[in-house]
A and B are shown apart, each in its own frame.
Chain A
């Protein structure tokens, strides 16, 4: 286990370094910068001569550090980031770390709740479908899963918001409260559920055909006992990787849902920052996404080793 941790730590550090370069390069690859946005929106151009505007732009670029070369900007940024200083937002002038910390709990709550909805739904659908493969319930649930996959989140979210506001007086905008959490969580969960459900179904069917499950049946165990007592745990193991990816994407990448539901999380915050070319915020957000993905994947690795020791044995056998 210690080896797993050590190896994971080194890999994660390397990944983060590569990701930091990519994040920095990608953010700057988009046309325009914060100075362009500020001048474009303020209308100052109409009142200045081209020379005055150029001088004002240069001054602002210097204030923001955008007059330096991109590699120099990167080194300075990385130097701050390793000291956990994510910089200052161009728009608000506040430390980005403070603004992210304020919003992260709301995103974590939404992503976590959406994940639970997806997991619970996948568990139910997977079980029902695997009970009688090819049966009516299996076909119906497959159809529903396909429909849930096909409907884009923005459409499902907009419709849900519309009818929930009309029928239940659901508060369309506001803080991250329990009263507001359930609807975006359901929307997120429904979107993420089908893939998990299909994988669980296939895994359950496969495990039911394994000798240990057949032996249990032969010993007179009921189908329910075989499923819950013998098959469920190994059937869940292949699901862990996908569940981990789903969790990380739900925690840090729920842009559309956060915008539609005016949820005060990090993704909605990042969208506004992208529009304003607020580089420190966008970079910090993307880095956060990478960190969440890396951490969740490390956690999944550890969990897989804990749940199924054969994983470690197979890894050792291949070395």
Chain B
């Protein structure tokens, strides 16, 4: 490790390229925390948004009109407003209102009352629901691609609506939805940078703090780029592996 620190220090002295987050301990700790927060935020939001998509798509086909309307309203609200506005709204308007109404559970952070859902929590809620609203529609497209005859066959075999969704419709729909889902999840990972407006110390926020204190803007910009290219690269690679592992010969592929 020390060798890498020395290399970065030496690089700065020789070329003026200041990778301060490698050789200075304070900045290094900040940087790693930022990276961890971005990873956590991305993983939690990806999982939650897929769950929201699966559940939402099932509710869309419900027999209850009210449920269908609720899902439609949810999609309209989250898909049609900018994620930046949502983050600010959730954190500053909704969060505070819930606290004022006494609905928000509080916990004691060392003689200091903090709401259970803080800025990280609101970022998770807002980003998951934002990406989830797209996922609902993505899964709907997959569900609609499942032939009616297949669903009728399941019904004839005595499957309930939920059972047929879980065992017959969703497994087929999922495979059809995966390419579109990929796109949306990649977008979601990139959108986590917006959480810096509500002071979630993720990668973007941390890079901003580091370049403000060290005036190494180009270096940090380049670092940000590399971090996100790597992060999205890993996600895409995983999704492709998953897609291949789930392939059913003869379904959805002509070759």
Q: Do A and B come from one complex?
A: no
Interface residues, chain B, with chain A CB atoms under 8 Å away = none
Interface residues, chain A, with chain B CB atoms under 8 Å away = none
